[in-house]
């Protein structure tokens, strides 16, 4: 198949967008590398503390007028933004593939999911409505107004460079706040394209800001007294040790979404033919770099014949996965984001082998890479058998195209393993038995629960949930919970004499 | 090379529909008495391409899980549209039925394969198969 046209041409520099102006960062410039081709496709600056301070100052100044702009008017900016996102749907999708490596199908899915959040935020005049009670005592009325708080920081991860900042930013600006977005410096161009469209949509200067960079920008956001709250998606250690305590220290609101090591439970009564494609996409889609990716497959029951037949089918299907550059439409799995991440995944596989697992399918060296690209960031799918519940490969996040299989005799034992995991993001069960499904849903500790669904990604009008080691905070991104997060409840009690 | 991803399957279907649309446009030129019918078919083909594209891009599952949804052999749905210069309307209709047969088979098999994983794409494939039944009747009446 031919490669779809690449949207990022030449070697552009991803600039900051502060107070309605595009400026090149004063910090160190680093390369942005396409992980499939290993080509440098752009540069991005690691912005300085002064640059983040300047963005927060612009956002603070813009907040005064933006908060006073009627919600319906704010919505019209969002509707224009939405229209531009739709108009540029394909270009935005290809940017993600070019800078991140995911397949074009996955990028288009990500684009759709991002846009859906803008669509939901367009309903803010209704979503933001408060509550009223007449005569709470004779002649006294009480009502609640949801008011914006000020400036919010949005810190995005590398694995969904387009969608994840849109879990927050549209709701923040729709509710009358202003934002400073920090994309991952590994994949800065998706947010740059979004910000260009936000500019074209006409948001007043200072309402929508973007600062590229790394730790300096993150710490600058955390320490800044002018930022009211932060949304973060990234690794659990950063969530736990940096973001959450940092927000606590300065009294910021916080939504912190971390890692995962999701478990998919297979009951012998599942619909095998329908389940296997779902497992492929869950474990190997996005090269396993999803916080909702399956990592461990628990096969329930002691029927060896079912086990062997099922695992054989899974292995055959995984073996046939086409690997290559995601802009080739025939490719089913792209590379991981960079060579360092590949090494880390390989380390997990090696460690599991030392602990005694057997490789049913060895993806450490990818087979054929369509297009003959260098294998620097490519891995094949790996299937490991013989895991037990205490192994690192079950308990630690691998974030790569691996499937570790372990067996339990009962569903109860499988649920126990899910619940003793340090992560509780998106566990799932595959079964055709409603009782098993309900038992799992009821007893499993997981922010998102799948029943015959391998990627338990909530729609924009539901919160992207997450529990325990996968999440810190109270409210979640997306939908009504995001609206609550980005507003404070102001309660008014009136008596007129 | 089999078609496995939603992206390449939809591109392949677009190719089939466009080829068929060009065929119907040529028939409209050759058989002026049936011009409106053949141009109508060509326009419908364009609409079907759009319908499938919208289904694919409108539901997250259809894109994000699309990489593993199909296993179609493109050779199974190949068709030729060449007709002899002096072909009669009946011959043209017979050729058109072959074209339709190939396209319908692609939609039907695609719907069957992807039904467990995708949402709107297989549903739209089935809708198109159903809608095209009228076209088959019209073509058969020309034979």
Domains of chain A: 13-258+470-495 (3.40.605.10), 262-451 (3.40.309.10)
Please say whether the beta carbons of A165 and A194 come within 8 A: yes
> Residue B140 and residue B130: Cα distance in Å, rounded?
16
> Residue A310 and residue A115: Cα distance in Å, rounded?
37
How many residues are there in chain A? Answer: 497
- Is pLDDT of B66 > 90? no
Query: Averaged over A25-34, what is the pLDDT?
Result: 97
Report pLDDT digits (tens) over A45-104. 999 999 999 999 999 999 999 999 999 999 999 999 999 999 999 999 999 999 999 999
Please say whether the beta carbons of A52 and A217 come within 8 A: yes
Measure in Å the smallest separation between the Cα of A206 and chain B Cα atoms: 32
CB pair distance less than 8 Å for B60 and A285: no
Question: Is B90 contained in some domain?
Answer: yes
Check residue A1 and give its pLDDT: 67
Contacts of A209 (CB under 8 A, 6+ apart): A16, A17, A18, A19, A55, A58, A59, A178, A179, A180, A181
CB pair distance less than 8 Å for A112 and B117: no
> Residue A418 and residue A86: Cα distance in Å, rounded?
39
Question: Is B1 contained in some domain?
Answer: no
Round to the nearest angstrom and report the end-to-end CA distance of chain A. 78
How far, in whole angstroms, is CA A353 from its chain's centroid?
Answer: 30
> Residue A477 and residue B86: Cα distance in Å, rounded?
66
> Residue A272 and residue A252: Cα distance in Å, rounded?
47
Q: Per residue in B46-56, is it b (16+ CB within 10 Å) or e — as a string?
A: eebbebbbebb
Predicted confidence band of residue A189 (pLDDT cuts 50, 70, 90):
very high
Question: Is B128 contained in some domain?
Answer: yes
Q: β-strands A369-370, A262-266: how paired? A: unpaired
CB pair distance less than 8 Å for B67 and A106: yes
Measure in Å the smallest separation between the Cα of B141 and chain A Cα atoms: 40
How far, in whole angstroms, is CA A277 from its chain's centroid?
Answer: 22
Known catalytic membership, residue A254:
no
Query: Averaged over B51-76, what is the pLDDT?
Result: 90
ipTM score assigned to the predicted complex: 0.91
Question: Is B48 contained in some domain?
Answer: yes
Tell me the chain A residues in contact with residue B116 when contact means C-beta distances shorter than 8 Å. Answer: 271, 273-274, 277-278
- Interface of A to B at Cβ within 8 Å reads 1, 89, 103-106, 108-110, 112-113, 116, 271, 273-274, 277-278, 280-281, 285, 317, 321-322, 329-333, 454-455, 457, 459
Tell me the chain B residues in contact with residue A333 when contact means C-beta distances shorter than 8 Å. Answer: 67
Question: Is B26 contained in some domain?
Answer: yes
> Residue A424 and residue B76: Cα distance in Å, rounded?
45
Residue that has been written with the tokens 């040529």 in this structure: B26
- Interface of B to A at Cβ within 8 Å reads 1, 3-8, 11, 56-69, 116-117
Number of domains within chain B: 1
Check residue A411 and give its pLDDT: 98
Query: Averaged over A209-228, what is the pLDDT?
Result: 97
Q: And the tokens for A49?
A: 């503390």
Check residue B122 and give its pLDDT: 95
Domain that holds residue B108: 6-142
**CATH code where residue B55 lies:** 1.20.1260
pTM check: above 0.80: yes
How far, in whole angstroms, is CA A348 from its chain's centroid?
Answer: 22
Q: And the tokens for A447?
A: 């922010």
Report pLDDT digits (tens) over A105-143. 999 999 999 999 999 999 999 999 999 999 999 999 999
CB pair distance less than 8 Å for B60 and A271: no
Query: Averaged over B3-25, what is the pLDDT?
Result: 97
> Residue A162 and residue A97: Cα distance in Å, rounded?
10
Please say whether the beta carbons of B18 and B82 come within 8 A: no
Report pLDDT digits (tens) over A268-297. 999 999 999 999 999 999 999 999 999 999
Residue A409 backbone dihedrals phi, psi, to 5 degrees:
-80, -35
């Amino acid at each position: 198949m031919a490669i779809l046209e690449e949207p990022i041409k030449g070697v552009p520099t991803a600039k900051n967008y502060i107070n309605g102006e595009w400026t090149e960062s004063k910090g160190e410039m680093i390369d942005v590398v396409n992980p499939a081709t290993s080509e440098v496709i752009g540069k991005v600056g690691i912005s300085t503390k002064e640059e983040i301070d300047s963005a927060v100052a612009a956002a603070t100044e813009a907040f005064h007028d933006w908060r006073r702009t009627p919600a319906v008017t704010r919505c019209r900016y969002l509707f224009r933004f939405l229209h531009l996102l739709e108009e540029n749907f394909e270009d935005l999708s290809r940017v993600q593939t070019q800078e991140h490596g995911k397949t074009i199908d996955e990028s288009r899915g990500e684009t759709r999911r991002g846009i859906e959040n803008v669509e939901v935020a367009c309903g803010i005049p209704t979503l933001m409505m408060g509550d009223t009670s007449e005569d709470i005592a004779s002649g006294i009325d009480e009502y609640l107004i949801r008011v914006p708080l000020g400036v919010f920081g949005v810190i995005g991860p590398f694995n969904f460079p387009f969608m994840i900042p849109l879990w927050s930013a549209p709701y923040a600006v729709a509710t009358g706040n202003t934002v400073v977005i920090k994309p991952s410096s590994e994949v800065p161009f998706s947010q740059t394209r979004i910000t260009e469209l936000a500019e074209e949509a006409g948001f007043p200067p200072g309402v929508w800001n973007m600062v590229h960079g790394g730790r300096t920008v993150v710490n600058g956001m955390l320490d800044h007294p002018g930022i009211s709250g932060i949304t973060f998606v990234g690794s659990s250690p950063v969530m736990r040790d940096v973001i959450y305590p940092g927000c606590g220290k300065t009294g910021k609101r916080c939504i912190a979404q971390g890692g995962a090591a999701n478990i998919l439970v297979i009951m012998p009564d599942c619909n095998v033919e329908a389940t296997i494609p779902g497992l492929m996409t869950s474990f190997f889609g996005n090269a396993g770099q999803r916080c909702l990716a399956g990592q461990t497959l628990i096969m329930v029951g002691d029927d060896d014949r079912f086990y062997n037949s099922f695992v054989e089918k899974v292995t055959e299907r995984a073996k046939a996965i086409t690997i290559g550059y995601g802009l080739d439409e025939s490719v089913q799995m792209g590379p991981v984001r960079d060579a360092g991440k590949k090494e880390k995944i390989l380390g997990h596989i090696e460690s599991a082998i030392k602990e005694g697992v057997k490789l049913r399918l060895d993806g450490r060296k990818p087979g054929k890479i369509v297009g003959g690209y260098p294998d620097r960031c490519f891995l094949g799918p790996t299937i490991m058998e013989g895991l037990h519940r205490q192994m690192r490969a079950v308990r630690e996040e691998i974030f790569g195209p691996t499937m570790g299989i372990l067996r339990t005799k009962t569903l109860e034992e499988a649920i126990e393993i899910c619940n003793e995991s340090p992560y509780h993001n998106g566990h799932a069960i595959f079964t055709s038995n409603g009782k098993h499904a309900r038992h799992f849903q009821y007893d499993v500790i997981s922010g998102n629960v799948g029943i015959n669904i391998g990627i338990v990604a909530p729609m924009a009008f539901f919160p992207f949930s997450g529990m325990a080691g996968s999440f810190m905070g109270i409210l979640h991104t997306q939908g009504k919970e995001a609206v609550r997060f980005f507003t404070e409840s102001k309660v008014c009690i009136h008596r007129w004499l | 090379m089999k078609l496995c991803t939603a992206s390449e399957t939809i591109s392949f279907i677009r190719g089939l529909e466009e080829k068929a649309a060009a065929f119907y446009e040529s028939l409209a030129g050759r058989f002026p008495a049936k011009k409106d019918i053949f141009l109508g078919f060509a326009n419908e083909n364009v609409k079907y391409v759009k319908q499938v594209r919208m289904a694919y891009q409108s539901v997250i599952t259809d894109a994000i899980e699309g990489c593993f949804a199909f296993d179609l052999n493109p050779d199974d749905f190949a068709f030729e549209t060449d007709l002899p210069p002096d072909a009669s309307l009946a011959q043209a209709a017979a050729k058109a039925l072959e074209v339709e047969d190939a396209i319908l088979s692609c939609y039907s098999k695609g719907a069957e394969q992807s039904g467990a994983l995708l949402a709107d794409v297989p549903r739209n494939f089935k809708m198109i198969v159903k809608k095209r039944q009228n076209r088959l009747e019209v073509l058969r009446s020309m034979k």
